[in-house]
Amino acid sequence: MTRGKKLFEGVSHILEDGETIQHVVDGAYEVDGRSARHGLVVATDRRLLLYALSIYGKHEVDSFSYGSIASFEQSRGLMGGSMSFATADTRATVKLIPPGSTFTRFCTWLHARIAPTPTPVQAQA
């Protein structure tokens, strides 16, 4: 079994009951300066997951609810796409994402999920 297939099949074990995968991209990610890991970025209907296999065959998961993500940026370069996002206490960067429509759709969908909802303007008395 290839590493990519094993990595993708492992994602199903970390999903909650009824949770569905919406988009997936692969790349190398860092969370709060920890060493880079090659893995998957999985957007579900409930949260954003950073998922990698360790050298011992176990999986490593960082999970972020969409409501906790305060900022999101994306860019494209010669080495592929990249994205970064931050919560109140965590900063994550994903690089080396293969360019193309999958990356574009992923970022568009993610941006819509974490975009702040406008608050109603209060009337002044």
Task: Give me the CATH number covering residue 10.
Answer: 2.30.29.30
50 domain residue, yes or no: yes
122 domain residue, yes or no: no
93 domain residue, yes or no: yes
pTM: 0.81
101 domain residue, yes or no: yes
Structural domain total, the chain: 1
99 domain residue, yes or no: yes
124 domain residue, yes or no: no
Q: Record the tokens describing residue 61, joined without a space.
A: 């998961």
pLDDT in tens, the chain (125 residues): 445 566 666 777 788 899 999 999 999 999 998 888 888 999 999 999 999 887 777 788 899 999 999 999 999 888 889 999 999 999 999 999 998 888 999 999 998 888 665 555 554 54
